[in-house]
Amino acid sequence: MLKRILVTGGAGFLGSHLCERLVEMGHDVICLDNFFTSQKANVMHLLDRHNFELIRHDITLPIWLEVDEIYNLACPAAPGHYQYNPIKTMKTSLMGAINVLGMAKRCRAKVLQASTSEVYGDPEVHPQPESYRGAVNPIGLRACYDEGKRAAETLFMDYHRMNGVPVRIVRIFNTYGPRMHPYDGRVVSNFIRQALAGEEITIYGDGSQTRSFCYRDDMVEGMIRMMHVGEDFTGPVNLGNPEEFTIRELAELVLELTGSRSRLVFKPLPPDDPTRRRPDIALARTKLHWQPTMPLREGLERTIAWFRSIDMSHYRPPTPRY
């Protein structure tokens, strides 16, 4: 059944791939974005498609559309971006959630919230199951994003309980792939950009902290499956790759795949930076019949090839507080 689908943050890294997939499925897709951290180039190839529409709009402000489904991806997701204007980041999570939930209530639409593994903070439980309530510093530098996403989950569940809005919540772990913003501050984009430029590879801490990296196509598949899962399952559900790598292992793999001679440089670990991050995806396997399929090496090869193909000057440089 073809549907009218709104994707907020649809010109971003993940949002653009989600829009692309939904357009290919034949749905009428509305991409809404304020282009704070995203690029119009990410969706330029979709502009001539009859079932795609692009709207420049800030989701902190109300908008009235008629839709059947909403994927709410709007929010800066990289530390350098969400810490640049932390108040606006919090408003995007809170007001954005209120506005899309209000629309979903009026239209009787299904709405999916792109939450984050950051709701677990610097976890004391490993790997992290959905039942774990997290260890978050509510007054730290990352709190605008961590707590904003936690509060958004609260709003989603309250709209579901009080108004019967059909909601879905996914907690996204580290995701990478083509169309990542080269200056987003994420470890994969940082390492690839630095390696290709022959710059020093910056590792924060001693490199023993871990992350789990999920390729963008696997993540988009998980989100679509979550939207279509049975009505009785709201989530939250973890979406991510359960394979765990140290940051140093990632840096060394990027050096190998790029053929770079860049050297590793170690700097102090930022405040509240998680030391371990790995999802427990048992729930996703059971409820969504989903698990990642892309090996890290192959995914990095594809991502590096994309980084080689772009003109870095077409991307906005780091913000002043980056």
End-to-end C-alpha distance for the chain, whole angstroms: 44
**What are φ and ψ of residue 32, in 5° steps?**
-115, 130
Q: Active-site positions?
A: 145
Give a yes or no: residue 185 inside a domain. no
Most distant pair of Cα atoms in the chain: their distance: 58
Going by pLDDT thresholds of 50, 70 and 90, the confidence category of residue 319 is low
Give a yes or no: residue 315 inside a domain. no
Cβ(120)–Cβ(174) under 8 Å? Answer: no
Give a yes or no: residue 72 inside a domain. yes
Q: How many domains does the chain have?
A: 1
Indicate the average pLDDT of the chain. 92
Q: What is the pLDDT of residue 185?
A: 81
Give a yes or no: residue 235 inside a domain. yes
DSSP 247-284: HHHHHHHHHHHHT--PPEEEEPPPTT--S---B--HHH
In the predicted model, is pLDDT for residue 82 greater than 80? no
Domain range for 48: 4-175+215-239
CA-to-CA distance for 62 and 129, rounded, in angstroms? 34
Give a yes or no: residue 261 inside a domain. no
Q: Is 48 helix (H, G, I), strand (E, B) or coil?
A: coil
Going by pLDDT thresholds of 50, 70 and 90, the confidence category of residue 322 is very low
Domain containing residue 141: CATH number: 3.40.50.720
- The average pLDDT across 149-155 equals 97
Give a yes or no: residue 296 inside a domain. no
The residue that leads in pLDDT, 321 or 42, is 42
Q: Pseudo-torsion of CA 227, 29, 45, 304, nearest 10°?
A: -20
Q: What is the pLDDT of residue 272?
A: 66
Give a yes or no: residue 198 inside a domain. no
Give a yes or no: residue 272 inside a domain. no
- The pLDDT tens digits of the residues spanning 203-218 come to 988 889 889 999 999 9
Angle at which helix 86-107 crosses helix 143-163, to 10 degrees, equals 20
CA-to-CA distance for 189 and 258, rounded, in angstroms? 13
Residue type, 262: S
Q: Which residues, 6+ apart, have CB-to-CB distance to 296 below 8 Å?
A: 213, 241, 243, 245, 253
pTM given for the model: 0.93
